[in-house]
A and B are shown apart, each in its own frame.
Chain A
Amino acid sequence: MNELKKSFQDGAFIPYIVAGDPDYKKSLEIAKKIIDAGADALEIGIPFTDPAADGPTIQKAYARSLNNGFKVKQIYQYIKEIRKYSDIPIILLTYYNIVYNQGIENFYQKTEKIGVNGVIIADMPPEESKQVTKKIKDKKINQIFLVAPTTTEKRIKTISEKGSGFIYVVSRLGVTGKRKNFQETTKKLIKKVKSNTDLPVAVGFGITKPSHVKKARKAGADGVIVGSAIVDKIEKNKKNQQITQYIKKMKQKI
């Protein structure tokens, strides 16, 4: 259970990739390279046809994966192969319909068994989480919830009680995607969340540059999640080496 929490002790750099993007084999290679480059945990998206929380970069990655034949059921094998390679904490991110369709019990049983440390369901706020939290009560898996700039302090407390592992802070209003500046409001949000929870706090959505990582850490974040900036490199078919270099540069600022 605390493997995930532990990864935040000296700051966690958490890259995000989509399983099966651009195809199964290549995305497995990319995952391994990212681990080698020094990621502290790995967040993996299970593609969904209708990702309403995601911006164009991640949408396209989901589509690439599905168009190249990725099946949801392959996620278990995919994780197993990563597990053979490394014991890095793994967090899955997907949408409610994917989990519901697999059968909530079945999904969490299988993912726990293969060593998944946490699950994020992008369109499941705490008020819709009862069925899930009931099923994972006795499991070692962490259910991670999001906090947004619009989330009230009262809700942050609820989210902190219902979730475990860490709190995912959405740095700005909008969908996933790259951006230029790290805003003042994000710093305030990190501070607000930190003062209302004992869980580690990771910030994501739009973290692109090493300077963003530094500022997020300075504001008190225990970790940063970087998705679109990496997925963008995969889309542009950049060499794995470039992804590795990027991750090393970002990781330095943790």
Chain B
Amino acid sequence: MREFSKYGGKFVPEPIISALDELEEEYENIKNTKDFKKELDQLLKEYAGRPTPLTYSKKLSDKFGCKIYLKREDLLHGGAHKLNNTIGQALLAKHMDKDKIIAETGAGQHGVATSMAGAKLGLETEIYMGHEDVQRQKMNVRRMELLGAKVNEVTSGEAKLKDAVNESLRTWVKQLEDTHYLIGSVVGPSPFPKIVRDFQSVIGKETKKQIQEKEGKLPDRIIACVGGGSNAIGIFKEFIEEKNIKLTGVEAAGSASISKGLEGVLHGSFSKILQTDEGQIKETESIAAGLDYPGVGPEHSLYDELNRINYTTANDKEALQAHKLLSKKEGIIPALESSHALAQLPKIQKEVTRDDIVIINLSGRGDKDVEEVQKHE
């Protein structure tokens, strides 16, 4: 059995195995030590800005007929939930005596968050980013460079996120001794999906406490967008055992690995992936670069199989509408990725009642998307 029943695993070339074994062992040894926990807590609080607020949205609540709260990961330093993971893994890398971190990035948010963590903790940082993403996220490229990271443009394959992961893996295997591969989502070979989930689960833990304080009870529904699936697992994990809470993961219609994919192996783990009937990886197309990925975290595939999380999709148009709605009604410009979660609200309008509490994980802010959105006007 693998980490998540039949899902997960270590489908990697032999040279990487020893590094994964080392990472797993070190992580288990380090994660519960007093020093590590103290340092991480302090960084999350003083540097990243945790806890992030849980904001009640009166206007959305009135419009959709239920009590809507937004978990404000957009307010985390860097503008997305990504820093929870990068600070955690960069600190882990430091404890493992690595001098260097490398990472892939799609929208650029993980690249920025990795560059921040690298700068803060004094680790040399290199980012791999697909040519197409470099073109559509120029601002983030500049931010990474300002933060002292080196950005490498990837032109192989589709020149998108999946190709950036391939290139990161290829680079990692050349420099395993002094380099940590700081993967950006709950994907990749074991133990990455577990490590990223653990660092992101701070979102759900905070949310649970905050909603108890505000409402005196747990929510009825939680909605999050799913690309690789780290913000979703981050908020869902704490509520998985609360069986009567409805958990919904919203994929981009053009890259919906769970809703439209088949079982297989991409980037080291067995999960649901978008592939042709020949087993070649399919091209994906989403307005949200961060969701534009043909795979999904293995833990999500498991929760789909167990019917614990309900997975659905939103298309570009629905996401754009939601993006504009939140901007105008609440004065919050959401990331196009997070807008996919918001796009679920009109669809559940008929199923909810006034007293139902619905939490949306607002995984990132949308400043990076202003240009992209303008193109569609």
Contacting residue for A97 out of B157, B173, B175, B273, CB 8 A: B273
B173 near A174: Cβ-Cβ < 8 Å: yes
Q: Is A52 an interface residue (CB 8 A)?
A: yes
Known: A100-B279, A175-B170. A50 touches B18 (CB 8 A): no
Q: Report B148-172 CB contacts with A as 1/0, cut-off 8 Å.
A: 0000000011000011011001100
Q: Is B17 an interface residue (CB 8 A)?
A: yes
Bound CA–CA A111/B166 (angstroms): 28
A175 near B173: Cβ-Cβ < 8 Å: yes
Q: Is B266 an interface residue (CB 8 A)?
A: yes
Chain A contacts of B11 at CB under 8 A? 96, 123-125, 128
Q: How many residues of A contact B (CB 8 A)?
A: 41
Q: Is B264 an interface residue (CB 8 A)?
A: yes
A55 near B170: Cβ-Cβ < 8 Å: yes
* Stretch among A5-13, A25-33, A143-151, A235-243 lining the B interface: A143-151
Q: Is A53 an interface residue (CB 8 A)?
A: yes
Q: Is B281 an interface residue (CB 8 A)?
A: yes
Contacting residue for A151 out of B14, B157, B263, CB 8 A: B14
Q: Chain A nearest CB: distance from B188 CB in Å?
A: 11
Contacting residue for A102 out of B14, B162, B266, B279, CB 8 A: B279
Q: Is A49 an interface residue (CB 8 A)?
A: yes
Bound CA–CA A72/B163 (angstroms): 21
A50 near B162: Cβ-Cβ < 8 Å: yes
Q: Report A84-112 CB contacts with B as 1/0, cut-off 8 Å.
A: 00000000000111101110000000000
B176 near A52: Cβ-Cβ < 8 Å: no
Within 8 A of B (CB), among A55-79: 55-56, 59, 63, 66, 71-73
Q: Chain A nearest CB: distance from B249 CB in Å?
A: 23
Chain A contacts of B49 at CB under 8 A? none
Chain B, interface size: which category?
35 or more
Q: Is B245 an interface residue (CB 8 A)?
A: no
Bound CA–CA A71/B266 (angstroms): 19
Bound CA–CA A146/B9 (angstroms): 18
Contacting residue for A52 out of B19, B262, B267, B275, CB 8 A: B267
Q: Is B13 an interface residue (CB 8 A)?
A: yes
Q: Is A2 an interface residue (CB 8 A)?
A: no
Chain B contacts of A138 at CB under 8 A? none
Q: Is A181 an interface residue (CB 8 A)?
A: no
Q: Report B1-42 CB contacts with A as 1/0, cut-off 8 Å.
A: 000000001111111011100000000000000000000000
Within 8 A of A (CB), among B208-255: none
Chain A contacts of B174 at CB under 8 A? 173-175
Chain B contacts of A42 at CB under 8 A? none
Q: Chain B nearest CB: distance from A153 CB in Å?
A: 12
Bound CA–CA A128/B12 (angstroms): 9
Bound CA–CA A147/B14 (angstroms): 6
Chain A contacts of B278 at CB under 8 A? 71-73, 98, 101
Q: Is A122 an interface residue (CB 8 A)?
A: yes
Bound CA–CA A73/B279 (angstroms): 11
Contacting residue for A101 out of B18, B173, B175, B275, CB 8 A: B275
A125 near B265: Cβ-Cβ < 8 Å: no
- Please provide the 4 A-B residue pairs with the shortest distance between their CB atoms, ordered closest to farther: A101-B279, A148-B15, A150-B18, A53-B13
What 8 additional pairs, Cβ within 8 angstroms, besides A50-B281, A102-B279, A174-B15? A49-B157, A50-B166, A50-B267, A52-B12, A72-B279, A98-B278, A100-B265, A101-B279
A-B contact pairs, 18 of them (CB 8 A): A48-B280, A50-B166, A50-B266, A52-B165, A72-B280, A73-B278, A97-B281, A98-B278, A101-B277, A101-B278, A122-B13, A125-B12, A125-B14, A127-B10, A146-B13, A150-B18, A150-B176, A174-B174
